[in-house]
Structure 1
Amino acid sequence: MNFAEWGFWQAMLETDEDRKSDKEIEKKYGLKEIVAYEYEDDESQKEAQQRASETPRTRGPVYALDENILEIRCGMLEAKRGLVSIFSITAITMLSLGFLGAAVEAKSLVLLLLRGQSEPYGHHLYLAVLFTSLASLISWFYFKYGFRFTRLEMLTSRHLLIRFNRKTQQVYLHRPSYCGGIVTLPWKGVTSSGSSENTAIADGIGVPLLLYWSPRVTGTLHPEGAWVGKAGNNQTELRDEWEFIRRFMDEGPQGLPRPRITSHFPWPWQAFTPQFEGLTHYFRRASRTTKVGLLLICPAFLIIGLGHWLSLLLCWKPRWPKLIRQAGLPGKPIPPLTTLADRPPHIQERLRANAHLWAMRPGKRPEKKPRRRRGKSEAEPS
């Protein structure tokens, strides 16, 4: 599912009206704006260059690995896809039945008129108009408001991909255009949630490894992020994953364990096994009652897994542009880094208007002043 990436890209293009409503929500629930500082970004980049683990390994899925190329599945909620596909297929099936019913009634009406017999045909006309009107109205609403969510799982690229090129020292993100499109980023300047405790997220439980490029690095007036591989059960797994990537890019594949290469073909087990990514932590520590409850809801996992598989079947294999496929080969050009000028004019306008939202403040974050507690001598007399 590309929901997280789609939402992140929509935030980059948010209008002034939407931002005002967001501020009202933040004020209502007491949420504070997160301010980033250049010093913190520099420290995170330095930590990303250091060794994070002594046992580097990747849990994949890995789609390509050689002397210069490492390609891994990407996406925040990739393991949760399936539910949107079930609702989408249900809606499309109902629309198809509505138009089919209208066609059957229209056929019956035409046959009666051609026979020239005095048989009543009013109910055929009524049903044909009713089915056509309802199906057309629902189709309009679906394609205007619902189809955008269907494309988060169906009729789009089968997977989000991230490709590391050791020869060019670049990272490539393969995403649909409505999630930010295909971009080329520099390896130098990346930060990772697996590099240190300062950048860790939720102790690595239930989330994949996050790679992040600040606006100072991207050159597109907005940050870029990528969730790499499977959801983690702990921070150790994410450190091992990051260390595998870091050593590959900085030192080469020598000495790294050889991962199993996954096929892009949508095999059924590629849809059912991801449902349990990041849940081992809970299974091991769960009580007996919780384990019984998990067994009882197994049919729900099977239904979502079936929707996951259908979504994979209804998508196509992602394909890199020729320039990226040939990057690093002898005599082939190095892909230029993505810049603001590579975006369409209306996208450039929104990114420029929102650039101040992602800009980093210079220097360090000011220290919080300790709150003074009033002593007994300072307390007012009752």
Structure 2
Amino acid sequence: MYLIEWGLWQTAIEAEALRNEYEKEMTASEINATRDFYELDLEEEMHFRRVSERPCARGPVYAFNETFLEMRCGGSEEKRGLITIMTLVGLGPIIYTGAIVTGGSIYFDFFSPHATSLVNIIVTIVMSALDGAIIYFYLRFGLQFTRLEMLTSRHLIIRFNRKTQQVHLHRPNSCGGIVTFPWRTTGSTGIYPEDDSLSAGMRLGLVWHPSLTGLPHMEMALVGKQGQGGSELRDEWEFIRRYMEEGPHAVPRPRLSTQLPSPIQAFSAQFEGLGRFFRKSSWLFKVVLLMVWPAFVIVGTGHWLSLMLCWRPRWPKVIREAGMPGKAVPPVTTLSDYPPAIQERLLANADRWQLKPGKSPEKKPRKPRTRKPQENRYL
């Protein structure tokens, strides 16, 4: 499911009227919080120093060689299948029933020895109109949500090319499309040990800030599986960093995954990030999980169906050949690569990501509240 990526892209290209309406409902402090970015904070939070002694790729990894490393990314892979189930269960029977009734009416009208009745004609017209209306409204309003996990690229993928020192993101156009950034403009969320307690269930986040890319909007990719703590995110970032900075010999060779619609990937995705939590949980919680296993089967089946109803993503030729002898280096993505209408909207929302000079002010610690001793009313 590409819901997070779709939402981030919609925020970047949000229409002015919708944005103004949304900001009217926000308080002044909420608006300031969304624009509280400082130059020195970005410099401190973006570095390529060693952050772990145990580099590890938790996967899925699709390619690993002397030229490039390719991994899965996506912010809500474990929830994939929900939209597929709702679409197939809600839309499928309606269209199937309508097509059977309409087809049967037409067959009897043309091939039945009896005369065509007015009732058959009315039923045929009504069912055809109803099917047409359902398909129209689905294509008009529902298809954009269905394509978050069906009839689209099977996976969001990210490629790190160490020969060209570039990072490529492969996404559907509805989520921002294919983009290319210099490696040295990449920021990471997996660099601080003190964030361990906040990282359980989170994925490694890679960020490209407009001040470094020259684009008027922020780009972000959530890489790999959910973590069970900040240490795992740091290990994965260290794996990527060493591969790009030192080469494939500096990291352990990862196990490669298939890009085919594997049922193992579909069912295992629901349990990402739960291993440590499950081991430390009480026996009662484990019993509850066993009782709700049909829900995991249903969602896993929907996940698998969504993978089969998608196609394998394919890179443009210039990216596939990048790093080969005598081949061109892919151009870095610029604002001019987007259609004029999208350029206008990106520029209209560029103020969301502007940096303030200096460093963010330190928050004053709250003073503990002291309760006054109450007098004994019975004395």
Please, what TM-score do these two structures have when normalized by structure 2? 0.91
CA distance in 2, matches of 1:41, 1:170: 20
Give the letter for the 1:286 counterpart: S
Q: Deviations over 1:162-214 (max 9, x none)?
A: 0001111110000001100000011112111111147x486221121000011
Please report how far the alpha carbon of residue 245 of structure 1 lies from its aligned counterpart in structure 2 after TM superposition.
0.4
CA distance in 1, matches of 2:29, 2:181: 36
Give the letter for the 2:295 counterpart: A
Q: Any idea what SS the aligned residue of 1:58 has?
A: coil
Match of 1:161 among 144, 157, 180: 157
CA distance in 1, matches of 2:150, 2:258: 19
CA distance in 1, matches of 2:150, 2:170: 16
Please report how far the alpha carbon of residue 372 of structure 1 lies from its aligned counterpart in structure 2 after TM superposition.
8.9
CA distance in 1, matches of 2:196, 2:105: 58
Per the alignment, residue 309 of structure 1 pairs with: 304
Structure 1's 76 and 313: CA in aligned 2 closer, same or farther, altered over 3 A? Answer: same
Q: Which moved more, 1:205-214 or 1:283-292?
A: 283-292
- Structure 1 position 290 matched with structure 2 position 290: no
Q: Any idea what SS the aligned residue of 1:56 has?
A: coil
Give the letter for the 2:42 counterpart: D
Give the letter for the 1:163 counterpart: R
Per the alignment, residue 108 of structure 1 pairs with: 108
Per the alignment, residue 356 of structure 2 pairs with: 361
- Structure 1 position 185 matched with structure 2 position 186: no
CA contact (8 A) 1:57 1:243 kept: yes
Please report how far the alpha carbon of residue 82 of structure 1 lies from its aligned counterpart in structure 2 after TM superposition.
0.5
- Structure 1 position 62 matched with structure 2 position 61: yes
Q: Any idea what SS the aligned residue of 2:220 has?
A: strand
Q: Deviations over 1:321-370 (max 9, x none)?
A: 11011111111111111000111110101011111111111221234567
CA distance in 2, matches of 1:26, 1:96: 45
Q: Which moved more, 1:30-39 or 1:134-143?
A: 30-39
Per the alignment, residue 23 of structure 1 pairs with: 23
Per the alignment, residue 129 of structure 1 pairs with: 125
CA distance in 1, matches of 2:43, 2:20: 31
Per the alignment, residue 255 of structure 1 pairs with: 250
Structure 1's 118 and 348: CA in aligned 2 closer, same or farther, altered over 3 A? Answer: closer
Per the alignment, residue 88 of structure 2 pairs with: 89
CA distance in 2, matches of 1:287, 1:353: 51
Q: Any idea what SS the aligned residue of 2:248 has?
A: coil
Q: Any idea what SS the aligned residue of 2:63 has?
A: strand
Match of 1:269 among 244, 249, 264: 264
CA contact (8 A) 1:193 1:201 kept: no
- Structure 1 position 209 matched with structure 2 position 208: no
Gaps of 5+ in 2: 371-379
Q: Which moved more, 1:87-96 or 1:221-230?
A: 87-96
- Matched residue count: 368
Please report how far the alpha carbon of residue 89 of structure 1 lies from its aligned counterpart in structure 2 after TM superposition.
1.6
Give the letter for the 2:39 counterpart: E
Gaps of 5+ in 1: 376-382
Counting only pairs closer than 5 Å after superposition, residues 40-59 of structure 1 correspond to structure 2 as 40-46=41-47, 49-59=48-58
Structure 1's 286 and 334: CA in aligned 2 closer, same or farther, altered over 3 A? Answer: same
Match of 1:143 among 135, 139, 143: 139
Per the alignment, residue 233 of structure 2 pairs with: 238
Per the alignment, residue 224 of structure 1 pairs with: 219
Per the alignment, residue 375 of structure 2 pairs with: none
Q: Any idea what SS the aligned residue of 1:63 has?
A: strand
Please report how far the alpha carbon of residue 40 of structure 1 lies from its aligned counterpart in structure 2 after TM superposition.
0.7
CA distance in 1, matches of 2:363, 2:136: 54
Per the alignment, residue 377 of structure 2 pairs with: none
Structure 1's 260 and 133: CA in aligned 2 closer, same or farther, altered over 3 A? Answer: same
Report the RMSD for the aligned CA atoms in angstroms. 2.2
Q: Any idea what SS the aligned residue of 1:254 has?
A: helix
CA distance in 2, matches of 1:192, 1:152: 25
CA distance in 2, matches of 1:67, 1:214: 28
Q: Deviations over 1:216-255 (max 9, x none)?
A: 1121111110000011111111111111001001111113
CA contact (8 A) 1:38 1:363 kept: yes
CA distance in 1, matches of 2:196, 2:328: 37
Q: Which moved more, 1:11-20 or 1:242-251?
A: 11-20
Structure 1's 39 and 129: CA in aligned 2 closer, same or farther, altered over 3 A? Answer: same
Per the alignment, residue 373 of structure 2 pairs with: none
